[in-house]
Structure 1
Amino acid sequence: MTTLHRALTDPPLPLLPRAADDLLRSLDAPPRLAAHLRAVHDAARDLLGWLATRHPAVAVDHEAVLFGAATHDIGKCPHPAELAGPGSAHEIEGHRLLLAHGVPERLARFARTHASWTDAGTTFEDHLVSLADKVWKAKRVPDLEQLVVDRLAGATPGWEVFMELDDLLTGIADRADSRLAFQNAYPITGASQVL
């Protein structure tokens, strides 16, 4: 069994969407990247579950958010140094890579938008993927959270939505240590290494 296979299948995090899993395997992705994508995908599932329960009237493309969370950093396959340090080359490269593998733009866009949620034209789905990419490790970004609150505020007062979202994000952040431990249990290199 390879370390990549383990990073994609070991408990306790939910499995990635099949198309994302297949793509990561075909690219022989770094195991640490696969584990990271599962951690962010887990946080995105929590966000979507909360939305479905607390704000069911809000239109959101669940498939796009889950796929986006599962592939947003795929550009780190050709830029593995960005797994251990800063860098943004993976954003444009990931978008290009996904399009080259036949992924439609509505799903590929998250690779380039996950770190630029304030850019014109970003969608609610982009904001949710960006939020999942922050809160999985207990990082809170007030400006990003406010974008989500602003989208949800309507019949429900903004302060109430803020309090609900804050409670949800606190709960997601409370599991950050276990997600970080899961991610860090896998090496940055050695996807094909057999254990």
Structure 2
Amino acid sequence: MTAAALHRALTDPGPPPLRALPAPAAELLSTLDAPPRLAAHLRAVHDVAWHLTAALADWSPLLEFDRAAVLFGAATHDIGKVVHPEELRGPGSAHEPAGRELLLRHGVDAALARFAATHAGWRGGEVDLDDLLVSLADKVWKGKRVAELEQLVVNRLARATGTEAWQAFMDLDDILTRLAADADRRLAFQADHPV
């Protein structure tokens, strides 16, 4: 891959318009000479996480979560695919622990590196709301709705805010429906960048 193709994936304004990755994540992708498609994917998921966390903060200002951590997690969750590029074209989970280790080797705090390992392991008992939000963004960016994951988020939202579960469900569903509506454009953006 050329540095120009990676630079394009990191800076291309879209469509759809996607936010830039946090500087430390973008710099790390450049240092690792990451595949442009991976950078495009991480931008799409990061952008969805940005909108999701903004909507949740508006929904309940009392809801406690670490927005900066969620955004960094979304921006780096698949970074292990630098080590396992075959997983850019097909299924696989080897990138998850590899991503966590890669981030740790590059000085990323363990509390942030964990998202590379937990983004697909949301069924585990040790995940918190931040982990679930990264997992949710990683599904919704492409329009995928996962009822079991969404129910876990609804349960956390209801418990944390004292909101009735049905109301939390309805409000989250509205947010996710809006986010999923642009999935085709995000998928096209990602496909426009080479593996």
TM class by shorter chain equals over 0.9
Q: Per-residue deviation at 1:169?
A: 0.5
* In structure 1, distance between residues paired with 2:172 and 2:60: 11
The answer to whether the aligner puts 1:90 opposite 2:92 as a matched pair is no
* In structure 1, distance between residues paired with 2:124 and 2:156: 16
Q: TM-score, normalised by structure 1?
A: 0.95
Residue number in structure 2 paired with 1:27:
32
Q: Look up the equivalent residue of 1:6 and give its one-letter code.
A: R
Q: Per-residue deviation at 1:97?
A: 0.2
The answer to whether the aligner puts 1:146 opposite 2:151 as a matched pair is yes
Higher relative contact order, chain-length normalized (CA < 8 Å, sep 6+): 1
Report the secondary structure of 1:153's partner residue. helix
* In structure 2, distance between residues paired with 1:152 and 1:81: 36
* In structure 1, distance between residues paired with 2:187 and 2:156: 29
Pairwise CA RMSD: 0.8
Report the secondary structure of 1:109's partner residue. helix
The answer to whether the aligner puts 1:179 opposite 2:181 as a matched pair is no
Q: Per-residue deviation at 1:58?
A: 1.0
Unaligned runs of 5+ in 2: none
* In structure 1, distance between residues paired with 2:152 and 2:120: 14
Residue number in structure 2 paired with 1:39:
44
1:23-44 deviation per Cα after TM superposition (whole angstroms, max 9, x unaligned): 0000000000000000000110
Q: TM-score, normalised by structure 2?
A: 0.95
1:58-108 deviation per Cα after TM superposition (whole angstroms, max 9, x unaligned): 111111100000000000001111001001000000000000000001100
* In structure 1, distance between residues paired with 2:51 and 2:172: 11
* In structure 1, distance between residues paired with 2:51 and 2:165: 21
Q: Per-residue deviation at 1:119?
A: 0.8
* In structure 2, distance between residues paired with 1:156 and 1:121: 23
* In structure 1, distance between residues paired with 2:169 and 2:125: 23
Q: Identity of aligned pairs, percent? A: 63
1:164-183 deviation per Cα after TM superposition (whole angstroms, max 9, x unaligned): 11111111110000100000
What is the count of residue pairs matched by the alignment?
Answer: 188
Q: Per-residue deviation at 1:46?
A: 1.1
Mapping of 1:1-195 within 5 angstroms?
Answer: 2-11=4-13, 12-154=17-159, 155-188=162-195
* In structure 2, distance between residues paired with 1:6 and 1:56: 36
Question: Where in structure 1 do 4 or more consecutive aligned residues deviate above 4 Å?
Answer: none
Q: Would you say the 8 A contact 1:55–1:152 is kept in 2?
A: no
* In structure 2, distance between residues paired with 1:58 and 1:147: 15
* In structure 1, distance between residues paired with 2:107 and 2:28: 10
1:11-31 deviation per Cα after TM superposition (whole angstroms, max 9, x unaligned): 121000000000000000000
